């Protein structure tokens, strides 16, 4: 519940994204948050014509070694400690759609 005098957006991130006016060919978007929110936010931007390569997502994975040896932060072929944490949705999108990956 927002504080009483809050005047900002409240609700799902997809709602302000749907209302957003933008020029897809001149837009780069950065998304962070839980993986379902990344997927839905990216879908809203894709529907507006933003290319997947122009949508950058911040992947939040627990890391142990931090140098790509242990695989704890693995998302498919990506190791977040080595390849991320910010990657293009053209790379991360298909991986984020795999259940329990």
Q: Are 85 and 59 in contact (CB under 8 A)?
A: yes
Q: Is residue 15 part of a domain?
A: no
Q: Is residue 56 part of a domain?
A: yes
Of 90, 92, 88, nearest in space to 78 by CA: 92
Q: Is residue 72 part of a domain?
A: yes
Residue 6: the pLDDT is 87
Q: What is the mean pLDDT of residues 3-25?
A: 90
Q: Is residue 60 part of a domain?
A: yes
Angle between helices 35-47 and 89-96 (to 10 degrees): 120
Q: What is the pLDDT of residues 33-53, one digit of tens each?
A: 999 999 999 999 999 999 999
| Close Cβ partners of 56 (under 8 Å, ≥ 6 residues apart) | 28, 29, 30, 31, 86, 87, 88, 89
Q: Is residue 23 part of a domain?
A: no
Residue 90: the pLDDT is 98
Q: Is residue 101 part of a domain?
A: no
Q: Are 42 and 35 in contact (CB under 8 A)?
A: no
Location of structure tokens 């984020």: 96
Of 66, 46, 65, 64, nearest in space to 55 by CA: 46
Q: How confident is the model at residue 1 (pLDDT cuts 50, 70, 90)?
A: low
Q: How many domains does the chain have?
A: 1
Q: Is residue 42 part of a domain?
A: yes
Q: Which domain holds residue 47?
A: 29-96
């Amino acid at each position: 519940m927002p504080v009483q005098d809050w005047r900002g957006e409240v609700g799902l991130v997809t709602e302000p994204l749907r209302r957003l006016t933008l020029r897809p060919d001149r837009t780069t978007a950065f998304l962070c948050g839980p993986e379902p929110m990344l997927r839905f936010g990216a879908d809203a931007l894709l529907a507006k014509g933003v290319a997947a390569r122009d949508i950058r997502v911040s992947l939040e994975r627990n890391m142990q070694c931090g140098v790509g040896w242990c695989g704890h932060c693995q998302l498919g072929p990506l190791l977040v400690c080595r390849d991320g944490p910010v990657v293009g949705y053209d790379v991360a999108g298909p991986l984020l759609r795999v259940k329990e990956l």
